[in-house]
Amino acid sequence: MHRQWKSIDMLKTLLIIGSGSFIGGISRYLFSRFIQNSVVSAFPFGTFAVNILGCFLIGFFYGISERGNVINTEWKMFLTVGFCGGFTTFSTFANENVSLLRDGNFFYFALYAGFSLFLGLMATYLGNLLTKIF
């Protein structure tokens, strides 16, 4: 019986995160498109704006969640993992790096930020290159 409640709680959490992610993904598309269509430039202002706004939002949401009883766990999961995760995963990356810096883990910060950027770019390049080979 106890295991069944854990499964129900997990399903509830997944639905909360999935709902936030759904809304975040749609918001990313609409906001990015609006920004990009408002500016005539080859620079990806839409994606840039989404990433910066997502970083601000995840910082804000985690900040207010640390203030006590301002938002409950479900809303925190909906807003951070769900909405911000669907809006941009860059926001989670930035938040994790801020946490490493705040905790004084400078080595892990440099390792995480450096390898994520380098390996992310390399993986994107290799994935694209692979499509040209086959």
pLDDT confidence of residue 118:
93
- What 5-14 contacts at long range (C-beta under 8 Å, 24+ apart), as own/partner pairs, is 12/74, 13/74, 13/77
pLDDT confidence of residue 1:
53
User: pLDDT tens across 51-85, in order?
Assistant: 999 999 999 999 898 887 889 999 999 999 999 99
| Summary mean pLDDT of the chain | 91
In eight-state DSSP terms, residue 78 is I
User: pLDDT tens across 100-115, in order?
Assistant: 999 999 999 999 999 9
CA-to-CA separations, 47 to 42, 50, 92, in angstroms, rounded: 12, 5, 15
pTM of the model: 0.79
What is the residue extent of each domain of the chain?
2-88
112 Cβ contact list (under 8 Å, min separation 6):
96, 97, 100
